[in-house]
Structure 1
Amino acid sequence: MATTTAAATVTVRYWAAARAATGTDSEQRSGATVGEVVDAAVVAHPDLGHVATVATFLLDGRKVGRDHVVAAGATVEVLPPFAGG
């Protein structure tokens, strides 16, 4: 029997190109995993799609993959690759 994880509402923070693609610093999104949260953000902000494919994701300050489960009230951060030195 497969188990399902309920969707949680989290804060999504956007940095650099992700912020430019969404037009906002942060917003609330729902999903059961980081990937579901990011996919919901891409549906709302199609320009985020390319950025999300190369971004790193933090969950409450820790680097995680798209399959990581999120808890209600958590913060997911979308960090595009940064250039410069």
Structure 2
Amino acid sequence: MSDTPAPALPSVTVRYWAAAREAAGVTDERLEGATVADVVDRAVDAHPALARVAGVATFLVDGRAAPRPTPLREGAVLEVLPPFAGG
């Protein structure tokens, strides 16, 4: 057993758009997590109404599409984009 502390999780800014913003009740917040999935899970834990939107949302990390397993770095911006109607 090692006495070395576990590395700190990256802290990222989560930005919510449209229906995700309504469900979360906030525009943005800071959360920690190693991957997109970790942060989304924490967001849903904090805002249960977000679960439905998060299930169909697209995620961007620093402006690029990011599937749930994408690793995160300290200071990244994770955007939660629900599907948009129109065309």
The question of a shared fold, defined as TM-score above 0.5 by the shorter chain, is answered with yes
Structure index of larger Rg: 2
Aligned residues: 82
SS in 1 for 2:44: helix
What is the match of residue 23 of structure 1?
25
Cα-to-partner distance string for 1:53-78 (whole Å, 9 max, x where unaligned) = 00000000000100000001000000
TM-score, reference length from structure 2: 0.90
Alignment-derived partner of residue 32 in structure 1? 34
Aligned to 2:68: 66
| Structure 1 segments unaligned to the other structure (5+ residues) | none
Select the structure that is richer in strand.
1
Same amino acid, percent of matched pairs: 60
Unaligned runs of 5+ in 2: 1-5
Q: Where does residue 56 of structure 1 map in the other structure?
A: 58
Give the 3-state SS of the residue equivalent to 2:51 in structure 1.
Answer: helix
When the two chains are superposed, the root-mean-square deviation of aligned CA atoms in Å is 1.4
Task: State the 4+ residue runs in structure 1 displaced beyond 3 angstroms.
Answer: none
